[in-house]
Amino acid sequence: MAPLLEIKNLTCRRDEGSGSSIFHDLSLEVEEGEVLIITGRSGCGKTTLLKCVAELDVYQTGDILLRGKKATEYGIPTYRTLVQYVPQRPSLLPGTPLDFLRTIRSFRSRQARARSTRPSASDSHASEGDYGAVRGSESIDPLELAAEWGIEKTMWKREWGTLSGGEGQRIALAVAVGVGGAEVVLLDEPTSALDAATMKTVEKSLVSMLPPLKTQHSGRGGGVERKGTGPKALLWITHEAAQAERVGTRTVDLTRQ
């Protein structure tokens, strides 16, 4: 069976392909249940790699396969819902988090309708007011998840730019893992703006959403019970060795690639 995610011989160059290489001939496989830590010195290409995997950045050679299929076979917008990138600074997004959630829900709803003529679960909540109108059928409600991380509901109605770095990070994370359907979530230093206690709470809930690992890896992977309610795997950029040790099942150091 094809791996969950396969990166094959990926090469990415600076300046839209005309400059020097950021990484060259990089190959990786990610299986279900993994928290693959991406680390390495500043500027070595960690963010670029995640953006390439999300098909947001252009690479010059190589293939990225999700369950054996290229993004073009899924269609790029659908692929990006299956492989979701969570930016380091969501404060640069326009509008409010609630607008963002509505847009994603509406896209998912259209996708679901295209696949089936059955009414979507979000329709059945359409009379529940501002927040209920964007609720979906997933087992994780982003607003409730964010509330567990200390985010009050009213914050969802504020412009992204008015939220603190840590508030914006938690909301963006809750949307990425809470709005169902993402198979692989790409986390770009997801807890860099959080205090130590909140960081550990977020880490635990993220790892608990994964399915159990099929193969034993050297890392501890959080040592938390896995419920399999969220994405199938995480690619997680961090500069913190202690965090990598807590959550990671495997580490790739891009400095050495």
In the complex, the residues that contact ligand ATP under the rule CB under 6 A are 14-15, 22, 40, 42-48
In SS3 terms, the chain reads as CCCCEEEEEEEEECHHHCCCEEEEEEEEEECCCCEEEEECCCCCCHHHHHHHHCCCCCCCEEEEEECCEEHHHHCHHHHHHHEEEECCCHHHCCCCHHHHHHHHHHHHHHHHHHHCCCCCHHHHHCCCHHHHCCCCCCCCCHHHHHHHCCCCHHHHHCCHHHCCHHHHHHHHHHHHHHCCCCCEEEEECCCCCCCHHHHHHHHHHHHHCCCCCCCCCCCCHHHCCCCCCCCCEEEEECCCHHHHHHHCCEEEEHHHC
Taking the least distance from each CB to ligand ATP, the nearer of 40 and 248 is 40
Taking the least distance from each CB to ligand ATP, the nearer of 15 and 225 is 15
Taking the least distance from each CB to ligand ATP, the nearer of 57 and 141 is 57
Look at residues 166, 165, 132, 164 and name the one whose alpha carbon lies nearest to residue 149.
166
Taking the least distance from each CB to ligand ATP, the nearer of 112 and 237 is 237
CB of 23 to ligand ATP, least distance (A): 9
CB of 135 to ligand ATP, least distance (A): 34
CB of 83 to ligand ATP, least distance (A): 17
CB of 48 to ligand ATP, least distance (A): 3
Taking the least distance from each CB to ligand ATP, the nearer of 87 and 97 is 87
CB of 167 to ligand ATP, least distance (A): 21
CB of 19 to ligand ATP, least distance (A): 7
CB of 26 to ligand ATP, least distance (A): 12
8 within 8 A of 57, measured Cβ to Cβ: no
Taking the least distance from each CB to ligand ATP, the nearer of 144 and 253 is 253
Taking the least distance from each CB to ligand ATP, the nearer of 177 and 237 is 237
CA distance 6 to 209: 22
